[in-house]
Structures are given as structure tokens and as C-alpha cells.
Amino acid sequence: MDFRGWAMPLWYPAGAVAEHLAVIQAAGLFDTSHMSVLTVDGPDSLELLQLCFTRDLKIGLGKRRSPLVPGIAVFGAFLNEQGHVVDDAVLFHMDADRYAVVVNAGKGGEVKAHLDAHRGELAAQVADLTGRVGKIDLQGPKSARILLGALEDPHRVLDEMDYFSFRGDFDPGSPLADVFIEGRIPVMVSGTGYSGEFGFELFMAADRLPAVWEKLLAAGADFGLIPCGLAARDSLRAGAVLPLSGQDIGPWPFINHPWHHALPFDRTAERFTKKFVGDVVLEKKGHGEFTYPFVGYDPRKVSIHDPAVVLDENGSEIGVVTTCVADMAIDWHNDRVYSIASPGKPEHFKPRGLICGFARVNGPLAVGRIVVLKDNKRSIRVAITNDVRPDRTATRPMRDML
């Protein structure tokens, strides 16, 4: 299909359901080179990003409220003056005054223009590397074991890696380019991804991507690794309560949603720890719209393109459905949702799959509240929740996965 100017498969021969389950039980491989990569360089790079990025890179990261340091990545967003989302992004602190920013397909130029517009006299340069950096996502609990067979000196790279840390560089000329796929192909390996499961993102020069793809498939042949398309990427991220830019977050205030960790709240969760573009709007009280995850009772879906609306118990329209997919790895048992990967799942557990996604509504809703999703074909009851697929592996320690 045409995805924002890129020709991309919805699924490969195994099919979307098999791909979804492979990432949860084994591993899946995604070509995600449609994502845009920017670099921000110069002595004032941090100040520019502090102004334009929602995370507080100086004091606001993790339980210890520590600053961003080289080798660590962080998720956040770029907002305009109205507090609306320009795009969400993962920011990588490469070295000293150099940062890499990964944004969504077709967003590289827009985010660069946004940064340039706020740069003023700051000594920082923004470069859009769209099309020059290849990206592959290796996701699933067997990902680390697969990389053991694909990397040169793998234990030096992997043993000390944590969630949202990274090693190496996608620029072959960088002094940081000391991580290699077998065959001496320089890569940046990051303990991040968009599936909710343990895994990695690998960045390399675009012309080296086919070779890296083939080497990873060969290394994963005995571990159940299969290539995966857009459909599995969508169902996995929704089950992991991860937003899609332009759909679940977009041209409305970036507040009252499940991703408040992307905002620089202080310990009281009432104030921000820094000033940034759009903050004044977000600090105002009385924002009327709220975004919530939901989970249903079977795999039937509504179409967000129909469009699909949200109804309360009286049949009154209270919002819109922004994402609606089926996570085929989960099901209810005794009023609790289990995953096929849950260690305490019931005996002989065979999930039917459950509808899940996000709804943006005109007021607050309690967790457990039942609402109805309705398009032109059907109406479906779902429950408002604070999570969807349990027992995800994304944050598991590396030592447990090797």
C-alpha cells in the first residue's frame, strides 16, 4: 500500500495474525525506513530542544529525575503554539552537542522547519536525513538471541544495554561507529521499538539495509523470526497503548491522554519543570477532550474511516474512535484480560483476540466504564481501561532475554 509516499506491505505471506503473534512469542522483522531521521548539532542544540521538545532533558528523566546523557534515548513530542502535536519523536543523545531525532513518515521537513523557526540566534544546525538512513525493527522476546548471531562482538554491545539505551552510530564516518553487523556493516542498535515487546531498532546507511535485513533473517531462522508489515505494527502498538501521530495525537491540545510521561510534569503532576512551545495552552485548566484506551469483548471492529463515534449508555454521542484494531493475543477469563504470553494464563488458554484502540471523548470517563462504538455497520460495547495487553516484555532486563 501507499503509506505517506512509501510503498509498504500490509503483511507478508505469513499474514497479519501470525506476524502479530510472532512478535509476542518469538520475533518479527519490520522495515521502518519510512521514518525520518533528523540531526541537531551545535553548542546550543540542547537549548533548542529544551524549547521545542516536550521532555525536560536537563532534570526530568526517570525516577531519579536525571538529565539526558549520551547513549540514552527518550520519547516526547514537538508542539506548536496552540499546544497541538507537530509530531511525536524519539530523541537520541548521540555525543556532546549532537542529537538524532526520529519522527514519522513525511514529517522530517515539517519538524526541521519547526525547529528552524524557533532557532533564532541559537548556535544549532538541523539536518533532515530522510531517505539517507535505513531503519529495521527487530521485535520480540527472542530478539537478543538473534542479534547474538548477527553482530560482531555481540556481548560487548548487548550485555550492558538497557531499555531506551543505544550503542553505535548510523554515520559510518562517526567516531561512535563501533558497532557492526557481521560483514563490518556499521549500525546503531537501540533498545527501543513500537510493539510493546522486547526488541531493538537498528539504524544504518540506507544502501546497507538490504544486507542487514538478509543477515538478520538468516540469524533468526531457528528462532521463528518472520518479516512483518504495517497491519501487525498497528495491532501491536495499539495493544501496547502506543499512539499513532496524526490519528491518536494531532491538531488538538496534547493533554488528558495516556502519554503524560511525554510531558515535563514535576512530582506533583500539576506543573511543568520547564518552559516549552505550547506549554501555556496545556497549563490552562478546562480542556474538554480526553483520550482513553479501550478493550472490547471479541475481535469485531468498527472502521475509523466510516467514521466511528462513541456513545454513552443513553445513546448520546460523546466522542470519536481514533484507533480500532484487534489484538489477537489476548482474551478475557474471569473478568481479567490475559495475553498468550502471560505467565499465569489459564490452562489451555487460546485467545480469540479482542478489539482495542483509543477514543477521544468530550469529558472524563472512569476506568471500567462501558461505552458503545458505532459505525455504519455495527455497534460494539467496550470498556474504558488504562492498559490493554498485559505482561508485555519491552522493559525486561537484557540478562533475562539473552
Q: Which of these ranges, 86-95, 193-202, 235-244, 284-293, has the smallest mean pLDDT?
A: 284-293
Percent of the chain exceeding pLDDT 90 equals 93
Mean pLDDT of all residues in the chain? Answer: 96
pLDDT in tens, 198-250: 999 999 999 999 999 999 999 999 999 999 999 999 999 999 999 999 999 99
Residue 358 has pLDDT above 90, yes or no: yes
pLDDT in the model for residue 269: 85
pLDDT in the model for residue 4: 63
pLDDT in the model for residue 3: 62
In a domain, 218, yes or no: no
In a domain, 258, yes or no: yes
pLDDT in the model for residue 8: 81
User: Average pLDDT for residues 268-275, to the nearest whole number?
Assistant: 92
Residue 2 has pLDDT above 70, yes or no: no
Q: Are 189 and 147 in contact (CB under 8 A)?
A: yes
Tell me the residue type at 39. Answer: T
In a domain, 398, yes or no: no
Write the CB contacts of 289 (distance below 8 Å, at least 6 apart in sequence).
Answer: 252, 253, 256, 319, 360, 361, 362
Read off the pLDDT band of 60 (50, 70, 90): confident
Q: What is the CATH number of the domain that holds 363?
A: 3.30.1360.120
- Greatest Cα pair distance in the chain: 64
Domain boundary among 129, 152, 170: 129
In a domain, 222, yes or no: no
Domain total in the chain: 2
In a domain, 349, yes or no: yes
pLDDT in the model for residue 336: 96
Give yes or no: residues 123 and 249 share one domain: no
Q: Which of these ranges, 62-66, 84-88, 178-182, 228-232, has the smallest mean pLDDT?
A: 62-66
Rounded to two decimals, what is the model's pTM?
Answer: 0.96
Tell me the residue type at 162. Answer: D
Residue 289 has pLDDT above 80, yes or no: yes
Q: Are 181 and 154 in contact (CB under 8 A)?
A: no
In a domain, 177, yes or no: no
Q: Which of these ranges, 48-52, 185-189, 285-289, 369-373, has the smallest mean pLDDT?
A: 285-289
Count other Cβ atoms within 10 Å, centred on residue 283: 12
pLDDT in the model for residue 238: 98
Domain boundary among 106, 129, 152: 129
In a domain, 169, yes or no: no
Cα distance between the two ends of the chain? 36
Residue 163 has pLDDT above 70, yes or no: yes
- State the DSSP string of 57-99: TTT-BTTTTBPP-TTBEEEEEEE-TTSBEEEEEEEEEEETTEE
Residue 7 has pLDDT above 80, yes or no: no
Read off the pLDDT band of 288 (50, 70, 90): confident
- Report the distance separating Cα 123 and Cα 371, nearest Å: 51
- Element housing 143 (H / E): helix 143-148
Q: How many residues does the chain have?
A: 402
In a domain, 158, yes or no: no
Q: What is the CATH number of the domain that holds 108?
A: 3.30.70.1400
Backbone phi and psi for residue 325, each to the nearest 5 degrees, phi listed first: -135, 180
pLDDT in tens, 296-324: 999 999 999 999 999 999 999 999 999 99
Read off the pLDDT band of 75 (50, 70, 90): very high
Residue closest to 217 by CA, chosen among 140, 147, 170, 141: 147
Q: Which domain holds residue 55?
A: 34-129
pLDDT in the model for residue 284: 83
Domain boundary among 94, 129, 164: 129
